[in-house]
Amino acid sequence: MTRNYVSSPVVAWGCALVFSLATAAGQAPNASKKKDSTQSNLPATEVHPAKPSAQLREEPTVTRSPSANIDPFEAVATQLASLLGDKKSVSVGVGNFAFQDTDLLSPFSALLRDELEVALNKTSGFKVVTRDRIADLQNEGKFQMRDLLEPGTAVEKVSVKGIQGIVRGRFYATGNGVSVFTELVWLEGGNVEKTKVTLPSSQIAARVFPEGVKTESALGSLVTPQNLEASISNLQEITEGRLKRVTKEFPLEFFTTDTRRAFKQGEVVSFRVRSDRDCFVAVYCHQSDGSSVLLFPNNWQRSTFVPAGKAIDIPGTQKHGFEIEIGPPYGSDVVQVIACTSEREIEKLVGQQLRTASASQPVAVMTRGMAAKGISEAGAGATSVPNGAPAMWAEAHMVVSTFPK
């Protein structure tokens, strides 16, 4: 994949997840996620909707004539509302909608989440908790919300003031539209109810695209994640092999500060790391082109320390001289945080790599093999922290998907 570097004040590199780092003058699937046993591992290019179960309420495909006045997303909200019975004003947050049987997101994922928030608020049964409020709760450490936002994640009883449930799901391209499988997760009981609604292509196109752009190819690019095959291959390689190089000896939280995993061109993303003990961290972006970027530390942020119970942001509220801005090319990358209670071990991991950074290339870019070797070497042998206790390691990761406007 061609890598493009832009001179100051902006430095950018080309990858499936693209970061544009601006100077101050210009100014955590994670490894611990438990999957629902109903999830399959079919290739994402297959259309294989889950079989309806006793809990799955299905509405036939809507066959009305396409019209700009028809909101296909209201059909999903209406079907969910039918699960409530006599309940009114149930407070729910809206999570992620993944493409088929993958962890990848597409422009339709972001669209569906936005439109469903609006449609649910129009029903008498739901009151939508804003995304900002969900992010606040997660950022405050009230609970680890990110797992609950992901479809198919096993649910345990959770008590969160002001939120009774989470709406999340998957979607599958069909011959005549998009089938949306939605989960309504009840937090306190841990129960999950499911619905299925097929949204006709004509209604989606009439709702989303301006006149003259309602084409099959346009709808396909909306539904399908960018750089699909390379993204799937990258995710499989990372999750099935390289993530296992780091032992998980203490809890580590890793998420985006606004709870999203899907970003479009020009948007800015910030990551947050939190641990229950003092530790030192490194953050890598494993790209679908086979290379890895040492996102943190870098030429602007050198300190890797994370105090116990206190989160740090990358790049942080003060920006530390740079921002992470989405740009081309697009796709899905695995962003991983590695933590150790020994500063020496993290320095061993990133020291040689960080020395390759410069003013024109402030983040270290290396081959995948070099990154894997560094991780293995850093974790080899018995080490300890200043108080004599053995060094402990932890890891968390997430898939971040990007696409053009």
3-class DSSP assignment, residue 216: helix
Query: What is the distance between the alpha carbons of residues 156 and 159, in angstroms, rounded to a whole number?
Result: 10
| Residue 179 and residue 83 in one domain | yes
Instruction: Identify whether residues 307 and 236 lie together within a single domain.
Output: yes
Encode pLDDT of 233-273 as tens digits: 888 888 776 676 778 899 999 999 888 999 999 999 999 99
Positive or negative, the CA dihedral 260, 264, 265, 267 is: negative
Same domain, 220 and 234: no
* Cα angle, residue 45 at apex, residues 41 and 49 outer, rounded to 5°: 60
pLDDT at 137: 80
Indicate the residue among 224, 248, 281 that finishes a domain: 224
Share of the chain above pLDDT 90, in %: 36
Q: Are residues 236 and 384 in the same domain?
A: yes
Residue with tokens 């399908």: 224
Domain count, the chain: 2
Do 239 and 378 have their domain in common? yes
Last residue of a domain, one of 159, 192, 224: 224
What one-letter code names the amino acid at 90?
Answer: V
Choose between 224 and 245: higher pLDDT. 224
Closest to 338 in 3D by CA, of 8, 10, 30, 121? 30
Task: Answer whether residue 260 is part of any domain.
Answer: yes
Structural domain including 123 reads: 56-224
Q: Among 257, 289, 206, which Cα is nearest to 15's?
A: 289
More confident residue, 142 or 64: 142
Sign of CA pseudo-dihedral 397, 311, 270, 218: positive
- The answer to whether 164 touches 120, Cβ cutoff 8 Å, is no
Closest to 169 (Cα-Cα) out of 120, 234, 227, 221:
120
Q: Spell out the alpha helix ranges (H) of 165-215.
A: 201-208
48 found inside a domain: no
* For residue 211, pLDDT beyond 90: no
- Highest mean pLDDT pick, 16-25, 62-71, 99-108: 99-108
Does 270 lie in the same domain as 235?
A: yes
pTM of this prediction? 0.79
| 44 occurs within a structural domain | no
Instruction: Decide if 167 is inside a domain.
Output: yes
Q: 4-35: b or e for each residue (b if 16 or more CB lie within 10 Å)?
A: eeeeeebbbbebbbbbbbbbeeeebbbbebee
Write the pLDDT tens digit of every residue in 355-404. Answer: 665 555 656 665 555 555 556 555 555 566 666 788 899 999 999 999 98
- Are both 163 and 237 inside the same structural domain? no
Average pLDDT over residues 138-154: 74
Assess whether 262 and 303 both reside in one domain.
yes
In a domain, 39, yes or no: no
4 in any annotated domain: no
Q: Tell me: do 217 and 267 sit in the same domain.
A: no
CATH of the domain at 73: 3.40.50.10610
Are 344 and 384 contained in the same domain?
yes
Residue 46 lies in a domain: no
Give the pLDDT confidence score for residue 376 in this predicted structure. 59
Residue 207 pLDDT? 83
Q: Using CA atoms in the order 17, 20, 21, 22, what is the torsion angle rounded to 10 degrees?
A: -160
From 192, 207, 224, give the residue that closes a domain.
Answer: 224
Question: Residues 210, 79: one domain?
Answer: yes
34: in domain: no
Question: Same domain for 80 and 199?
Answer: yes
The fraction of the chain above a pLDDT of 70, given in percent, is 68
